[in-house]
């Protein structure tokens, strides 16, 4: 059994959890909820001390959500060459990876802007915050323009990443600080019924969560 360290508020963790379900690899993975900020033992597995971190059966630690998703994709293809969330080659592959990169950038900007907005005004840079906000809104605009490439019928890694980035914006700003157009919102609502997304919905850790520490 592989072990996946994750946090329920982490969009990068959610990407891996969604992809593992889409590839039917989730039965091979034991998901362990931790807090990367307080679990000192995570650093013994991943020098960056971030989630997601996947521990393979031979003990190797794999980190960076795109790398973990690539590994799971290869694993799925080795038992069924027709499966996979990363297109094989050519323009389709590059496009899917590009959408993943856009979404990852939006997730990082959202996380940073949210964290900065909790800081005292003297401890934060309005310039940096504005740049993060601009990246988030420009990302949303690019998603609206590229909706046709996101292949709702046959979703790929870019589709899942973009959806999770959009849900993360809503999770951090339920008051709808950012303008997500109705066409995009309708798409988010339809896709949210997919089991992989419904099972991994963002939430703050609850007292009754099976929260563990690595040590």
Rule CB under 6 A: which residues touch ligand GSH? Answer: 7, 10, 12, 36-37, 49-52, 64-66, 104, 111
Distance between start and end Cα atoms, the chain: 18
CB of 72 to ligand GSH, least distance (A): 13
CB of 80 to ligand GSH, least distance (A): 26
Residue number with CB closer to ligand GSH (11 or 187): 11
Are 9 and 52 spatial neighbours (Cβ–Cβ below 8 Å)? no
Residue number with CB closer to ligand GSH (36 or 84): 36
C-alpha distance from residue 11 to each of 99, 107, 153, 167, 211 (Å): 15, 7, 23, 9, 18
Peptide bond into 84 cis (omega under 30): no
Q: Whats the size of the chain, residue-wise?
A: 215
CB of 9 to ligand GSH, least distance (A): 7
CB atoms within 10 A of CB 169: 24
List of E strands, the chain: 2-6, 29-33, 53-55, 61-63
Residue number with CB closer to ligand GSH (25 or 50): 50
CB of 39 to ligand GSH, least distance (A): 10
59 contact partners, CB below 8 Å, separation of at least 6: none
CB of 148 to ligand GSH, least distance (A): 26
197 contact partners, CB below 8 Å, separation of at least 6: 18, 163, 164, 167, 191
Residue number with CB closer to ligand GSH (20 or 65): 65
Residue number with CB closer to ligand GSH (52 or 139): 52
């Amino acid at each position: 059994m592989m072990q996946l360290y994750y946090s329920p508020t982490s969009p990068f963790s959610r990407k891996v959890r969604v992809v593992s379900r889409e590839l039917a690899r989730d039965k091979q993975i034991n998901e362990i909820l931790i807090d990367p900020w307080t679990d000192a033992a995570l650093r013994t597995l991943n020098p960056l001390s971030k989630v997601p971190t996947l521990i393979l059966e031979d003990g190797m630690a794999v980190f960076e959500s795109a790398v973990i998703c690539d590994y799971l994709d290869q694993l799925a293809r080795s038992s069924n060459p027709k499966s996979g969330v990363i297109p094989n080659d050519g323009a389709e592959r590059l496009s899917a990876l590009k959408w993943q990169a856009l979404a990852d950038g939006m997730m990082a900007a959202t996380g940073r802007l949210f964290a900065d907005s909790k800081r005292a005004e003297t401890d934060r840079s309005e310039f940096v915050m504005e740049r993060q906000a601009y990246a988030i809104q420009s990302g949303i605009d690019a998603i609206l323009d590229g909706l046709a490439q996101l292949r709702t019928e046959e979703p790929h890694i870019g589709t899942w990443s973009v959806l999770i980035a959009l849900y993360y914006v809503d999770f951090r700003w339920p008051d709808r600080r950012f303008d997500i157009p109705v066409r995009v919102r309708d798409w988010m609502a339809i896709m949210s019924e997919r089991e992989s997304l419904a099972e991994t919905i963002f939430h703050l850790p609850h007292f009754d969560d099976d929260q563990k520490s690595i040590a």
